[in-house]
Structure formats: structure tokens, C-alpha cells
Amino acid sequence: MKSQVNRLLFSLFAICLIRMVTTLEGQTATSPSVEQWGIFEISLKGPSSGNPFREVSLTASFIQGDQTIQLAGFYDGDGIYRIRFMPEKIGQWHYRTKSNHADLNGREGAFSCVAASASNHGPVRVRNTYHFAYADGTPHFPIGTTCYAWAHQGDELEEQTIATLKRSPFNKLRMCIFPKHYIYNTNEPVFFPFERDARGEFDFTRFNPEFFRHFEKRVGELRDIGIEADLILFHPYDRWGFAVMGSDNDDHYLRYVVARLAAYRNVWWSLANEFDFMMNENRQEIVELKKRGKQIKLKTLADWDRFFQILQKEDPHQHLRSIHNGSILYNHTKPWVTHASIQNGSAVTDYGRAELLRDVYQKPVVYDEAKYEGNIPRRWGNLSAEEMVHRFWEGAIAGTYVGHGETYLHSQDIIWWSKGGVLHGQSPARIAFLRKILEEGPAEGLEPIDKWQDQPVAGKKGENYLFYFGREKLTSWTFQLPKAGYEFPAGTKFKVEVLDTWDMTITLVDGTFEIKPNDNYTYISDHPRVKLSGKPYMALRIRRVPF
């Protein structure tokens, strides 16, 4: 009898071990549950001999009702295999694994997906053609910045970067997965993404799990402070050969990254930084690699298309996908591109130019790189703070989004745009002011009101209007709203606020403005004049009464 009891207890213990999971936003739990858009992880013990990264396949099917989602697992070193899943539906889920190795094949279990916590809005999706929202419907206005290599600088500086981001207005961060070699950023990274072979050369068939554990820790920290991680998968600034690994290694790397990171709700995929520079055999990085005897295969447009298709197929959660240009634009109308990520130093100096790409692509346009606030002796990194803020506002009035970067010289080359650290410029506080205005505006996002008439106004017709006067130094403004196809009921009234985008002030104008038709194209008011300060960078917020 005693032996039967012992066997029964042992069986129950074994079942508990098999069904043990870890949620990466909480603690290990024996009763599997995870919040909606959290991470459910299965950890299994398997083979460690040979090359498990290439020789062992592992997938899992997650089933709820008539929905089945299949995704790949990955090898995490030391004989440990993991499968990560981001449940998007509340309720009970079941899973079953499939593998070419018996220890990993046919493992089954279940878990409950519970309601998301208050700060968890899910992944960001495209909404209203040109804008974004979280999965729960909460609007997302991307106010991004760039810190290309911040996750490769060591704990002290990386933790300082996280602390800075907590105090910043930014809710999106562009960052490279691979380490970067470029001006002001020539130090060795702490970790490398691949193991080295006996000759000291990187073996692109064997990943370094320590590198990826460290990297995903940083992605998780960004998630926890409400920041989207816009992950740059390839870039040309490379002295190690990661930019020219060959098609087979490139594809395997993409699949591995998706398996490890797609369950993080704050992930965006950016195929490359300056993708077209990776197609130029005369680039200094390529020439240097050739001198060292490296085998070089330059990427082609067909490669970039294939990479997009791999992401689209392998990512079960369909995170946002884009690609960033140098001097040649990718065709963002292709169906696997969710939004246009654009580098252009002049488009957002004028809202009329900024909005043109919306008409071309019929997708959200994010000017992720519009030059940087700073003082380095490069034309792409010496904007004044005023100019940086001005470009954000011009982009907003165009119904697009603009990214920040900072490049102030530092005695140790700790420059925000590449390494992070602390912010020194004056633009972030003013960008925070713009974010406040956007979040108080139309939930659907700002839309140009009358783009055919060169009027610097965006908003929602009939309800909310935002005028931005840029460098003009107006002392007054005559009240006038474009009809733009909208007919106002008689007696419609508006309140007007004067916004100083640099001093970050909002001044309510006395009285209300009752409008009446003026001509075929505009409405005016009998209370026509709004006094302005004569300073540049002023704006008006005009909202229908009541609001």
C-alpha cells in the first residue's frame, strides 16, 4: 500500500513538472496562467550534442476553440529549449509540441489567459489607415527616439539609459539587434550574437544564447516602462561580417529572432537601417571585410522582399513591419509592409511635403530619421533644438509621425543616438508638450483638413482643429476654418487656445467664436481676431463647444 501511494505521489509530481511554465512578466507558477498579451513560456530539456540550433526542430500548436496558432521554439543553450507564446484571447488554451527529437515531441499542457493588467494595452497595430492603436483600442501616437547600440554598452550605461527613458516623452525606441561600428561608436560590445569557432571566427550557424538573453531582458524593460522596441534586424555598420552572412544564415537568424522575441508585445520589426547601403560594394565596411578575406554576398531587393515574407510567415502575432532607407526608398506599397519608416532630412521642414508619402503609400508614415539635435560636425547631426521641435510639429500637421535623435559631442563618445546614457538637449521637453496635445486630440489621429489649399491645419473635421504657423511671426490671426467638404449647423461655436510650442504654454482666448459661411471654401466668425505674440513656433487649438 505504501509503495502504491509513493508511486501515485511521484506521478503527480511528474505531471506538475511537465506542466511547469514561466511567465516572463511574473514569477514561476505551478498553476499556469498568464495575462492577455503577456508571455507564456514552455521550457523543455533536450539534446545538447551536435548543433541543436540547426539539427533540432521544435514547434508547438496552441489551440482555443476552433483557433490553432502554430509557432517555432528555439534552443537556449545548455540543453534547454523554449517556446514562447503571446495569447491574444482570454480563456483556456491547450498546446502540443512537435519535434524530430523524442524528448521534445508530443508534450501537452494547458494554461489560462486572464484579463490584461491596467498598463498592458497589447501590441500596436495600424488603425484608420494612417495611424496606430494598441490591441485594446487605446490610441498610440508614436513619439520615438533612436539609440542604435544602447543594448551593447554594459549594465551601467544601459541602466542609465533606461532611467533616462523613464523620464522622457518617448514611447518608441529604434535599436539594433547586431552591434554597430561607426563614428563615435567603435568600442567592442559586451556580448556577440554568435559563437566563435576554433579559429576565433564567428560561426553563423551557432547563436550565443547569453547575447540574446541579455538583449531580450532590455526589450522587456522597455515594455515595462511603456516603450515600443523598434528592432533593427540588419544594418551596414559592421566590421564583424554580420551584414554579409549569406542567404541561408540570414534566413536562419531571422527565424531564430522571431522565435525568441515575437512574444514580446512591444516589438516592432525594422528589416534594416539604411537598407540600400547594404547593397553597395564600395562602402568602406565592405571593402575592409574583403581585405580580411571575408566572403561577401551583397543583399538585393529580392533578399529584402524575402526577409519581409519570412517575418510575415513566421511571426504568429503579426507585429508591425517596416524598413528604413538611406538614399533609395523601398516600395512600401508591398503587402508585407505595415507602415513606412522614412529617413528624410527635409520632408518634415514643410507639412505639404511630409504628407505626400501618405498619398503614395496609403499607410502610416513615420519619419524615423529627420536629422538629429546636436553639435557634431555632420549635417545630419547638428540641428538646433528649435528645429528638431519644429520638424515634429510639421510632421504632425501632415498627419505623419516624426522621430527624435540627439548627437551632442561627449568626451567619451557617449552620444544618445548610438549609446544612450542621458539626454542633454532641449527638445525632449517640448516633444512631451506635443505628445500631450496629440493625446488630447482626436483619438483617430490628426488628419490634414484641406491639403489642397496649403493650410497648416490638421485635426478632425467639424470638431477639432490644430493650426501650426512654424517660423511665421504673426501678431494676429483672422479666424477662418476650411469647409473641406464639411457643413456646419447654424450656431456652431468654437473655443480657441493659443499654444506656444517652445515655452509650452496654453492660453485660452476669451469668448467663443460662432461661425458662419464666408465663401465656397471657408467659414468665418463675427469675433474674428486672435492676438498672437509675434514669436515663431506658435499654434492654435480650436475645439467645438462643448468639448
Closest CA to 384 of 349, 352, 360, 332: 349
Grid look-up 512537435 returns 98
- CB-based burial, 289-300: b 16+ in 10 Å, e otherwise: beeeeeeeeebe
DSSP 232-290: EEE-S--SSSGGGS-HHHHHHHHHHHHHHHTTSTTEEEEEESSGGGGG-TTSHHHHHHH
**All 3 cell numbers of residue 51?**
548543433
Query: Helices in 19-72 by DSSP H: which ranges?
Result: 52-55
On whether the CB atoms of residues 111 and 63 are closer than 8 A, the answer is no
Give every CB contact of residue 43 below 8 A, 6+ residues apart in sequence: 20, 21, 22, 80, 81, 82
pTM of the model: 0.93
Task: Pull the grid cell for residue 109.
Answer: 499542457
- Give the tens place of pLDDT for each residue, 479-536: 999 999 999 998 999 999 999 999 999 999 999 999 999 999 999 998 889 999 999 9
- Write down the pLDDT at residue 547: 62
Q: Read off the pLDDT band of 31 (50, 70, 90).
A: low
Measured CA to CA, the distance from residue 361 to residue 371 in angstroms comes to 22
Q: How many CB atoms lie within 10 A of CB 490?
A: 8
Beta bridge partners of residue 231, listed in sequence order: 175, 269
Q: What share of the chain is helix, strand, coil (3-state, %, to 5)?
A: 25, 30, 45
CB neighbours of residue 263 within 10 Å: 25
| Residue 61 or residue 287, greater confidence | 61
Q: For residue 2, is pLDDT > 90?
A: no
Confidence at residue 25, expressed as pLDDT on a 0 to 100 scale: 41
Phi-psi region of 293 (alpha: psi -120 to 50; beta: other; left: phi over 0): left
Q: What is the pLDDT of residue 30?
A: 53
Distance CA 305, CA 336 (A): 8
Q: Which of left, alpha, beta for 445 (phi over 0: left; psi -120 to 50: alpha)?
A: left
Stretch among 12-26, 67-81, 210-224, 395-409 having the lowest mean pLDDT: 12-26
CA distance 416 to 407: 6
Query: Which domains, and CATH codes, for the chain?
Result: 18-114 (2.60.40.10), 124-440 (3.20.20.80), 449-544 (2.60.40.3950)
pLDDT category of residue 235 using cuts at 50, 70 and 90:
very high
Average pLDDT over residues 291-307: 90
Residue 446 to residue 459: CA distance in whole angstroms: 4
User: How many Å apart are CA 493 and CA 480, to the nearest integer?
Assistant: 12
Q: Please say whether the beta carbons of 72 and 258 come within 8 A.
A: yes
- Spatial CA neighbour of 251 closest among 329, 305, 176, 175: 305
Of 51-55, 236-240, 453-457, 485-489, highest mean pLDDT = 51-55
DSSP letter at 112 equals E
44-53, 101-110, 483-492, range with the lowest pLDDT: 483-492
Q: Grade residue 435 by pLDDT with cuts at 50, 70 and 90.
A: very high
Give per-residue pLDDT as tens, 511-520. Answer: 999 999 999 9
Average the pLDDT over 203-229 and give the result. Answer: 98
Over residues 197-216, the mean pLDDT reads: 96
**pLDDT for 138-172, tens place per residue?**
999 999 999 999 999 999 999 999 999 999 999 99
C-alpha cell at 264: 514580446
Residues 250-276, mean pLDDT to the nearest whole number: 98
Which residues lie across from 72 on neighbouring strands? 59
